[in-house]
Structure 1
Amino acid sequence: MTEARVLVVDDKENMRKLLAKILADGYAVETAEDGARALALVATRPYDVVVTDIKMPGADGFELLQAVKARAPETEVVLMTGYATVADAVRAMKEGAFDYLEKPFDPDAALAVVARAAEHKRLADAARSTAAPGEVASFHNLVGRSPRMHEVYALLDKAAGLDITVLLLGETGTGKELAARAIHYHSARRERRFVAVNCGALPGELVESELFGHARGAFTGAAGAKPGLFEEAAGGTIFLDEVGELPLAAQVKLNRALQEREIRRVGDTQPVKIDVRVIAATHRDLREEVRAGRFREDLFYRLHVFPVTLPPLRERAEDVPLLAAHFVEKHARAIRRDVTGFEPEALRRLAGYAWPGNVRELENAVERAVAVAPGPLVRVADLPPEVAAAVPGAPDPATLAKLPYREAVEQARDRISREYLVALLAEFGGNVTRAAERAGMERESLHRLLRKYGLRSDDFK
């Protein structure tokens, strides 16, 4: 087996030497004295694991983590700090770190963390290399293997290769920012900045200044010139989340920026050329907003070049077990809890809930469950009350009411069938033979049903 490649980054020479010695037996180790040198190495050669200090001059560990995940999302990152806090740990995990080490650390503990990270990377590489096209379970940080998500992955991959404006549509919590990052990090602009802007959170009187910058003296308090977020994203991507919340005056300027590829700072007379890809997102129906006079029609058509709709979780319920398992692993590592999965009934309740808040609500529910679970498996009692009270197999009435009768009946039947299979596999831990016996059918018949509903027995083991 080829030795895993590990990069150790720390501004203290004695720490670099210590870790290199600990990892010398079994790993190909290189070192870097700061974040800048580490970035240069990561840009030119592949690593399985990067172990980096948080507190460093110049680029700190969090900046390095973000850069590594931008260039090589599959590389695992372990953060080290002498000032560890729970907040640091949670932030590290949310931003994609595999784990963290508190200084001073036990050499055996450090070796064990790196070994787990390297093994996780090896297994992920093996899964990617052997998976059939229909078995793809993720795209960048989006997770799901349902037919709906495969369609989304194909569109995002195509969008990444085309340097055009993309409009991401879908309900709140469906993963629009993750989709935007996936496009950026798979595009030719991946080496430059990804700047995310929540348009709904910008103060109305400062929207134009934040997006396009301002000249000195443009308004009270403008003591100096300031570039806007479009200029900060030069050469990269700007993500305009909740673009439907922009005031009409800012919409005019955004439309001009898209049309002319230039912006003008507030209070300035000279335009500034920009080279930025725009990805916008909204949970609103922009066509309805145009009809209501709240959104400019010309801007709508400039944004609606390459639309991609992220499906709500209730329309890809077969992804719930996979997502739940992903979030258990993520949050158990973040808060260092020995929680590994779900009791069968808890998984059935997750599958039976309609998830109005979509993937974001599911993640929050799993994070809470991991925090309160007294043992290695999440119980029904550990779930939020509204999820624990879900009736497995019950179709979502609001969705069904919008469909023709025959289609509604078919969807209800499909959902009940899918959730029956989820409960069956959960009960027998993914053992298809025992599940088939309980269902009173041949193993091949059960396999055909699993394929039809996008389920894999391995997800329940």
Structure 2
Amino acid sequence: MSGRGRVLVVDDKENMLKLFSKMLGDDYDVTTAGDGTRALALLAAQRFDVVVTDLRMPGADGFAVLRAVKDRAPDTEVVMMTAHATVPDAVEAMRQGAWDYLQKPFDPDQAGEVVAKALARKREREAAQAPETGEVGGYGGLVGRSAAMREVYRLLAQAASLDITVLLGGETGTGKELAARAIHFQSARREKRFVPVNCGALPAELVESELFGHARGAFTGAAAAKAGLFEEAEGGTLFLDEVGELPLPAQVKLNRALQEKEIRRVGESTPVKVDVRVIAATHRDLGAEVKAGRFREDLYYRLHVFPVELPALRARKEDLPLLAAAFLDKYARAFRREVTGFTPAALAALAGHAWPGNVRELENAVERAVAVTAGPEIRPEDLPPAVTRAPQGLPPGEALSGLPYREALDQARDQFSREYLVALMKEFGGNVTRAAERAGVERESLHRLLKRHGLRSRDFEGP
């Protein structure tokens, strides 16, 4: 490994590019791009250790650059620069994978320190993610040292070495997309694109067009021919998240694409050969879906070549302190807060919660706590009420007998409502419209209920 890190700086201001070239040139190999479009071209052809990009630029903005980096080389660390620094922008950038951000105008020494830390972080992750050592601290962005996660790392490393179809299972929020990315970026296809798609979020009438593309005039609104996601992923990996949500007609075409390694655009009869590795994921029991007639048996066996099940957080509670610490570090940097840890009582509250939303729910809880805490440590009162209330699953009398009747009744009702909403949203993958229809309530009413219980529909949309 070269001692000099490779840094790409992206900004539409020439003076800013010159500043970084002068500031970093003695210690790093610095490449500059005067706009996001140029940066995207460089990212497609070269690999960098750190990317420093402005947020607001004409054309492709900093978020487009960030997404391109994380699609092609997720271990590359991204530092966002902005003169419009707001907490929502910073948090959203870090949610999407940015390492840190710089608010203009910034001190050159501060910027140099941030780049140095980003490079050090990148190299730490490279060492931790190697298949033979991944079991120690994590693999491909996944965190944990439990026996269950060590087995997952072993399977992911094995899957990365084999160019076969993988089916990732596990509850919503267990990290299935991170696992898919780990497989891709440790595989021989790592230099090509990783293309993720949430099958449950695609409108039923457009699923086939999105996956396989369409010819000009194939349907109303098809003013031009369009390549599908299979073609976009050529040579790389197509990640089909929530594959169990695909309508049956699309399942037929997907099965054929996997079998023949070719696709047909909607409105065309000529097949197009594709070289794509498919990784699928679902929170459903596809075997049960086959028996119920909602999923094709032939497609099930076509996908079920190399299955990997990601454990629920409650099945690996020993990893919880590691995960909580990682999220605390992430959001302390995002919010520029000097928050260094958790009180023993807060850790006990985290350990006592059932985490029906798994790792994603834990991340949201820590994010909230970092934002609201008044001191250097997170306390129980900083955590969401759902985390600090009586453990879920206990008989109401055992958990609530020390309270007055009306208060106990209110708490039991709240607990039931939250558990019902979690189960409902998990079933429909975060689709509020379909969930509201099942529950028999108005869509707006369901939104209010979710907000009341600290739940967000997007938390149930994928891995």
Q: TM-score, normalised by structure 1?
A: 0.77
Q: Is the 8 A contact 1:9 1:38 kept in 2?
A: no
Shift of 1:46: 6.2
Deviates further, 167-176 or 120-129: 120-129
Q: Is the 8 A contact 1:13 1:33 kept in 2?
A: no
Q: 1:396 to 1:134 in 2, by over 3 A?
A: farther
Q: Secondary structure in 1 aligned to 2:294?
A: coil
Partner of 1:95: 96
Partner of 2:256: 256
Q: 1:28 to 1:143 in 2, by over 3 A?
A: same
Amino acid corresponding to residue 233 of structure 2 in structure 1: A
Amino acid corresponding to residue 164 of structure 2 in structure 1: I
Q: Secondary structure in 2 aligned to 1:281?
A: strand
Q: Mapping of 1:123-272 within 5 angstroms?
A: 133=133, 136-272=136-272
**1:134 & 1:224 partners in 2: Cα distance?**
46
Q: Mapping of 1:418-429 within 5 angstroms?
A: none
Q: Mapping of 1:201-350 within 5 angstroms?
A: 201-350=201-350
Amino acid corresponding to residue 15 of structure 2 in structure 1: N
Shift of 1:85: 3.7
Amino acid corresponding to residue 336 of structure 1 in structure 2: R
Shift of 1:325: 0.3
Partner of 2:373: 373
Q: 1:264 to 1:43 in 2, by over 3 A?
A: closer
**1:283 & 1:41 partners in 2: Cα distance?**
33
**1:122 & 1:237 partners in 2: Cα distance?**
24
**1:186 & 1:349 partners in 2: Cα distance?**
36
Shift of 1:133: 4.5
Partner of 1:105: 106
**2:328 & 2:230 partners in 1: Cα distance?**
37
Partner of 2:423: none
- CA-to-partner distance for each residue in 1:56-102, whole Å, 9 max, x for gaps? 56765444434444565444321223343433312221222221112
Q: Secondary structure in 2 aligned to 1:239?
A: strand
Structure 1 residue runs of 5 or longer lacking an equivalent are 398-461
**1:98 & 1:114 partners in 2: Cα distance?**
10
Deviates further, 195-204 or 8-17: 8-17
Q: 1:117 to 1:274 in 2, by over 3 A?
A: closer
- CA-to-partner distance for each residue in 1:149-197, whole Å, 9 max, x for gaps? 1110111111111111110011111111111111111111112221111
RMSD between superposed Cα atoms in Å = 2.9
- CA-to-partner distance for each residue in 1:194-222, whole Å, 9 max, x for gaps? 11111111111221122112222222222
Shift of 1:270: 1.3
- CA-to-partner distance for each residue in 1:330-356, whole Å, 9 max, x for gaps? 111122222121001101111111111
Q: 1:381 to 1:41 in 2, by over 3 A?
A: closer
Deviates further, 315-324 or 69-78: 69-78
Deviates further, 104-113 or 290-299: 104-113
Q: Is the 8 A contact 1:369 1:383 kept in 2?
A: yes
Deviates further, 4-13 or 261-270: 4-13
**1:255 & 1:225 partners in 2: Cα distance?**
23
**1:240 & 1:128 partners in 2: Cα distance?**
23
Q: Is the 8 A contact 1:51 1:77 kept in 2?
A: yes
Shift of 1:303: 0.5
Shift of 1:115: 4.1
* % identical equivalent positions: 69
Partner of 1:455: none
Q: Is the 8 A contact 1:12 1:33 kept in 2?
A: no
Q: Is the 8 A contact 2:135 2:149 kept in 1?
A: no
Q: Is the 8 A contact 1:75 1:121 kept in 2?
A: yes
**2:28 & 2:53 partners in 1: Cα distance?**
16
Q: 1:33 to 1:222 in 2, by over 3 A?
A: closer
- Name the count of aligned residue pairs: 391
Q: 1:127 to 1:252 in 2, by over 3 A?
A: closer
**2:129 & 2:140 partners in 1: Cα distance?**
12
